[in-house]
Amino acid sequence: MNIAYIRVSTVEQNEAIQTEVMKQYKIDKVYQEKVSAKNTNRPKLMEMLDFAREGDTIYVADFSRLARSTKDLLELIELLEIKGVQLVSIKENIDTSTATGRLMLKMISAINDFERENMLERQREGITIAKAEGKYKGRKEVSIPDFDKQYQRYMNREVTKSRLAKELGVSRPTLDKLIKEHQQVS
């Protein structure tokens, strides 16, 4: 069976280019999602990996759609190899069913990882310069009036973290940060 995995990072992004690229292949099943590839814990990716069987081929427009880090990509490839599933990356023109394809995959994966690290380093340098020039202030500090009351509701198990975050209009990580800061002050 030919399986396609299509992913974009955010809801604002469009998967049309990837969908169009897949039309040249006889795709039997498509797994598509809008989620970051910061790790491999993605619903449709997990569903696809569970579904794929020996002899199947998974097509991706390029490796960055499957994984962002070399480690994650290589772990996914190893899992697919164990299951007897081939992986084809259209952009890189690599087929993991061949020794040359596996070698090229490892080289490209390392280069992608290197490029991403360089981009993040340049971003940090740019932020440092912008801060020095007074042009970058960072994110605005989140402040919740009467947070002590909300914190007590959470500690008394009257409300879950998810529910409280929703009520306060903040993300779970932001709520975690507020709770941690509150605990340090108390």
Catalytic amino acids?
A: 9
Tell which phi-psi region holds residue 134, choosing left (phi > 0), alpha (psi between -120 and 50) or beta. left
Burial class (CB in 10 A: 0-12, 13-18, 19+), 95: middle
Whole-angstrom distance, CA of residue 27 vs CA of residue 2: 5
Residue type, 183: Q
Q: Are 86 and 31 in contact (CB under 8 A)?
A: no
Whole-angstrom distance, CA of residue 133 vs CA of residue 122: 17
Query: Helices (H), strands (E): how many in the chain?
Result: 8, 5
Number of residues assigned to the chain = 186
Residue 155: enclosing H or E segment and its boundaries? helix 147-155
Q: Are 60 and 5 in contact (CB under 8 A)?
A: yes
